[in-house]
A and B are shown apart, each in its own frame.
Chain A
């Protein structure tokens, strides 16, 4: 059973600090990795995609991928109250399916 694991949280971070979200996956052949943000009652919204080992930065967001350790993370710098949401990690397997973690609930405290 291919799996994606995330800490369910909630993760509480002061406004202006760095929020660090982590995800591990079991399928070694996975090549594509995605972070989505989901507000309560809404659908997931793509934040970042990453395909190669290392860091990928987009504004306040940085995705980090380590395929040897089967680990992907998302850093949010200068956290804002509007960043409060559930963050979903998704991994694409060899059969084109996206396999999803259960999400980490992030709370940014003003």
Chain B
């Protein structure tokens, strides 16, 4: 167990709806990264939050947005859901130094999102 938790475990939405996924980071970690993993693929980096600010973003449209709270927990919001958004969404926490450089990332169990 990594100490990283995610909710919900599974979610079914319809196209055009909005969804919020939640993540609690491991104790002592200040950085959260979000990934999308389609079936049979490696994780794709969505964005990373460090001290409540976005600290890097992958090739995802603006309808993917996030937040990090003072306790370092985080949310991933996806608006206007599309069928291709169906995937496993992974949250990973890590500890970053003052330069923002992070080391090893530890993953939560993931949220399986199905868009119909």
Contact surface of A with B, Cβ cutoff 8 Å: 4, 32, 34, 36, 42-46, 49, 88, 90, 95-103
Contacts and interface: CB of A to CB of B under 8 A. Distances in A.
B100 A102 contact: no
A46 B42 contact: no
Contacts of A88: 42-43
A43 B102 contact: no
A36 B35 CA distance: 14
Interface centre among B43, B58, B102, B106 (most CB of A within 10 A): B43
B107 A44 contact: yes
Interface residues of B, number: 24
Nearest to A99: B45
A46 B56 contact: no
A46 to B, nearest CB: 6
B103 interface: yes
B48 A45 contact: no
B114 interface: no
Contacts, number: 51
B41 interface: yes
Given A46-B104, A49-B104, A102-B40, A96 B110 contact: no
Interface of B: 33, 40-45, 48, 55-56, 58, 88, 90, 100-110
B48 A97 contact: yes
Contact of A43 (B58, B90, B100, B103): B90
A23 to B, nearest CB: 11
A102 B42 contact: yes
A101 B41 CA distance: 8
A96 B42 contact: no
Given A42-B109, A43-B110, A46-B106, A96 B43 contact: no
B107 A43 contact: yes
B106 to A, nearest CB: 7
